[in-house]
Amino acid sequence: MLIHGKCHCGNISFSLAWEPSPTEIPARACGCSFCTKHGGVWTANPKGALKVEVKDRALVSKYAFETRTADFHICARCGVVPVVTSRIDDRLYAVVSVNAFEGIDPSLIRRAPASFDGEDTESRLARRKRNWIPSVEFVEGRS
């Protein structure tokens, strides 16, 4: 299955190859203060491949907080956060927002609360290496 998503204005879009086609898509409703304020509900397939397209990179802000181990890619035009990345051992990993999905049957998405409070940095990065999308490509337009 190829899952498409984008921010509201379309400046940041993505396609996620998810094989085999899922019977359900697990989604984590993160309880951190940033995700709570943005309605962050994230998914990843550790066997998937993600292509992120940015039309105008000047309209993308990156935000990192607390451990500074992840970058939230925020569209400066519409304010949506469709993708989060983390560079671990010179490899880029990512999760995508299920709220940015286009044309996916909502009944496929299995939302569950998630809390990573108390997780140390080493454990956090190890979890991401296991669970996040390990094949990430960014394609950018004009600067």
> What's the pLDDT score for residue 143?
47
Coil/strand/helix, residue 78: coil
Confidence of residue 142 (pLDDT cuts 50, 70, 90): low
Asked whether the CA dihedral 105, 140, 48, 40 is positive or negative, the reply is negative
Q: H helices within 24-114, ranges in order?
A: 33-38
Q: Mention every residue, 6+ apart, whose C-beta is less than 8 A from residue 131.
A: 44, 46
pLDDT tens, position by position, 106-130: 999 999 999 888 899 999 999 999 9
What are 15's strand-pairing partners? 4, 51
pLDDT tens, position by position, 60-104: 999 998 789 999 999 999 999 999 999 999 999 999 999 999 999
- Mean pLDDT within 27-46: 93
Predicted confidence (pLDDT) at residue 32 exceeds the cutoff of 90: no
Distance, CA of 38 to CA of 50 (rounded, Å): 22
101 vs 140, residue with greater confidence = 101
pTM, whole model, 2 decimals? 0.93
